[in-house]
Structure 1
Amino acid sequence: MLDSLPSDRDAQSSAVSRDLDVLLLARASTLRSHPGQVAFPGGRVDPEDKDAVAAALREAVEETGLDADGIDVLGPLEPVPLTYSRHLVTPVLAWWRRTSAVGVVDEAESAAVFRAPVADLLNPANRGVTVLRRDGEEWRGPGFLVRDDSGEHLVWGFTAMLLDGIFDRLGWTEPWGEAQEFELPEG
């Protein structure tokens, strides 16, 4: 979910406006699937959902409390298969035409809900490479540090890969030199 909220970043040093941001949440650490990870609002398509877009809006309302009447859906992206969890995810891009308050609706699902300025995500000082070691293998991918009132969050995995891919396709990615590494706990 893209929206507007001021960034701490100097507008001259970024390809995007200071007031463009992304709606994210930190999943509750008690969840069985992807506990504690930063993610976009979303979830499974329920039988009453017309399609993936309807499911994405319903889930965003349920997880963040946003007002869906202020949302303009830009459309779904191509489904992305996730090998490890065996999910097929259909990302849905939306624009916040009229912002509304957001926050944790269900503490059993989310630990935090926050808006991350895109300029801060693009800032090379907040980017790095995540390193996950699991079952004797090593996985490396993009990572972003996000700071807000609830603390510091590391965006990694599917969410970071999707953001990184979108930023690259839009030509927004800023060059960054020596990559900092974010070590993830084995899991």
Structure 2
Amino acid sequence: MTYPDYPDQPGRNTVLRPETAPEWLRPLTETPDTEAIRRTLGVKPGVRPRPDKQAAVLMLFAGARDATALPADAGVLLTHRAPTMRTHSGQMAFPGGRIDATDDNVVDTALREAWEETGLRRDSVTPIAQLPEMHVRSNGYPVHPIIAYWDEPEELYPASEEETDDVFTASIEELADPASRLTVGWGPWRGPAFQVRGYVVWGFTGGLLASALATAGWEDEWDRDTVHDLSTVLAASRNNESMD
């Protein structure tokens, strides 16, 4: 495992401060429609929550602080998991990972994991909200999404190449474009997806992203009814992701 050449600051900046959120981000700090989010994520029949393995992810948004509506430079941090990973290989994801016993709380986990994967300096962001605990459809593991605002955006990179091989800030305007959105299906499962920079964002990450756009009022009408075969969509993408 490789890490950035500057240290993290465990235990620092782990308190949520919703009152500091820019006006355009404030809808994401209010009480979320938990059931709507879970419906968006989908539930695999037979999978029950497993509290023995929990994780946290960082939904990090950037954009002009003084904007009252979605600014043109609004973006969200995404990573591409290395195709050599044993689990979720090739998938697009928010930075995040397993909660360690030494983490102060789930905010601490999300910031530590973001530092490990992308080199993000935790003092450059402000945590503003925590979404309700969600469960990964494939295995039932609880995940705690943390929403943060990026006060001081800077160039990031795949700090742990064993885990991540691409890191970038995706434009919210591009993600919300109806031409970037689609519904994908795999067997009986259906879910929202996004096409960005040749990648396909789907599954847990796609569901959280779709819910955020809907909650904040950033989405336009798009074709929800046409279901695209997930295997076909992935084969035409840069994900290098196998459905086997």
If the length of structure 1 is used for normalisation, what is the TM-score? 0.85
Does 2:143 match 1:143?
no
Does 2:69 match 1:23?
no
Q: CA deviation at 1:180?
A: 6.9
Q: CA deviation at 1:170?
A: 1.6
Q: CA deviation at 1:129?
A: 1.1
Does 2:62 match 1:3?
yes
Does 2:220 match 1:174?
yes
Find the residue that maps to 1:91 and give its secondary structure.
strand
If the length of structure 2 is used for normalisation, what is the TM-score? 0.66
Q: CA deviation at 1:182?
A: 5.4
Tell me if the contact between 1:120 and 1:126 (Cα under 8 Å) persists in the aligned partners.
yes
Q: Which runs of 5+ in 2 are unaligned?
A: 1-59, 232-241
Which structure has greater strand proportion?
1
- In structure 2, do the counterparts of structure 1 residues 50 and 79 end up closer, same or farther at CA, with 3 Å as the change threshold? same
What is the match of residue 208 of structure 2? 162
Does 2:143 match 1:84?
no
- Give the Cα–Cα distance (whole angstroms) in 1 for the partners of residues 205 and 219 of structure 2: 16
For residues 69-111 of structure 1, give each alpha carbon's deviation from its aligned partner in whole angstroms, at most 9, with x where no partner exists: 1110012111002231221000000000111220101111002
Does 2:121 match 1:97?
no
**Letter aligned with residue 154 of structure 2:** S
Q: CA deviation at 1:154?
A: 0.4
Q: CA deviation at 1:179?
A: 4.3
Q: CA deviation at 1:56?
A: 0.2
Give the share of equivalent positions with the same residue, in percent.
37
Runs of 4+ in 1 over 4 A off after TM superposition: none
**Letter aligned with residue 127 of structure 1:** R
- Give the Cα–Cα distance (whole angstroms) in 2 for the partners of residues 49 and 75 of structure 1: 18
Structure of higher CA gyration radius: 2
**Letter aligned with residue 138 of structure 1:** P
- Give the Cα–Cα distance (whole angstroms) in 1 for the partners of residues 243 and 154 of structure 2: 37
- Give the Cα–Cα distance (whole angstroms) in 1 for the partners of residues 118 and 243 of structure 2: 29
Report the count of equivalent residues.
170
- Give the Cα–Cα distance (whole angstroms) in 2 for the partners of residues 111 and 3 of structure 1: 21
How do 1:53-72 residues align onto structure 2 when only pairs under 5 Å count? 53-72=107-126
User: Which residue among 121, 125, 130 is the counterpart of 2:175?
Assistant: 121
Q: Which runs of 5+ in 1 are unaligned?
A: 6-14
**Letter aligned with residue 161 of structure 1:** G
Does 2:111 match 1:111?
no
Find the residue that maps to 1:62 and give its secondary structure.
helix
Tell me if the contact between 1:65 and 1:101 (Cα under 8 Å) persists in the aligned partners.
no
Find the residue that maps to 1:142 and give its secondary structure.
strand
**Between 80-89 and 50-59, the greater mean CA deviation after superposition:** 80-89
Find the residue that maps to 1:43 and give its secondary structure.
strand
**Letter aligned with residue 4 of structure 1:** G
